[in-house]
Amino acid sequence: MMAEDKMKLENQICFSLYATTREMTKLYRPLLADLDITYPQYLVLLALWDSSPLSVKELGGRLYLDSGTLTPMLKRMEKVGLIERYRSREDERKVLIGLTKEGRDAEQKAACIPDLLLENIDMNEEQILQLQHTLQRMLEGAREKGEGL
């Protein structure tokens, strides 16, 4: 690639990531409107449906988010009754996040979302798996490089 092209917006791999992520997130919005949650909140529920309760720390480890982002988001989710927050007995520093009945019930309502979303992507399973693999490699690489910052 020629030198000047490296400064073109459309050749920036990270701009493609940035723009695509936001556009894909918009596709989730109508699917999540039913549950009255945002996309990051949906990710929190996915993590909790897989395993709960989780401490804020553990949740942050899975979502790559810190308490500065999670604490206010979790308080909002608690207020609408999807989750509950309580201190761990064994270690009072930890705040555990558990699902309420409403939060557990939401899993059934959300079960169709992955398929509905895939309908909006004009890619076959092989292409998606390939993309997934590339992104995960990139993610791990970025986390290694970014460690000491």
Task: Please report, as ranges, the residues that interact with DNA according to CB under 7 A.
Answer: 18, 22, 25-26, 29, 38-41, 55-58, 60, 64-74, 76, 85, 90-96, 149
Question: In this chain, which of 2, 22, 93, 126 binds a second copy, going by CB under 8 A?
Answer: 22
- Measured CA distances, 25 to 73, 89, 148, 149 (Å): 17, 37, 30, 28
CB of 131 to DNA, least distance (A): 20
Contact region with a second copy (CB under 8 A), list: 61-69, 75-83, 89-97, 98-106: 61-69
Interaction of residue 19 with a second copy, rule CB under 8 A: yes
CB-based burial, 10-34: b 16+ in 10 Å, e otherwise: eeeeeeeeeeeeeeeeeebeebbee
Partner from a second copy, DNA, none binding residue 56, C-beta < 5-8 Å depending on class: DNA
Residue 42: which of 55, 129, 34 has the closest Cα? 34
Residue 15 touches which of DNA, a second copy, none (CB < 5 to 8 A by kind)? a second copy
Residues 6+ apart with CB under 8 A from 9: 15
**Of 86-115, which residues contact a second copy (CB under 8 A)?**
107, 110-111, 114-115
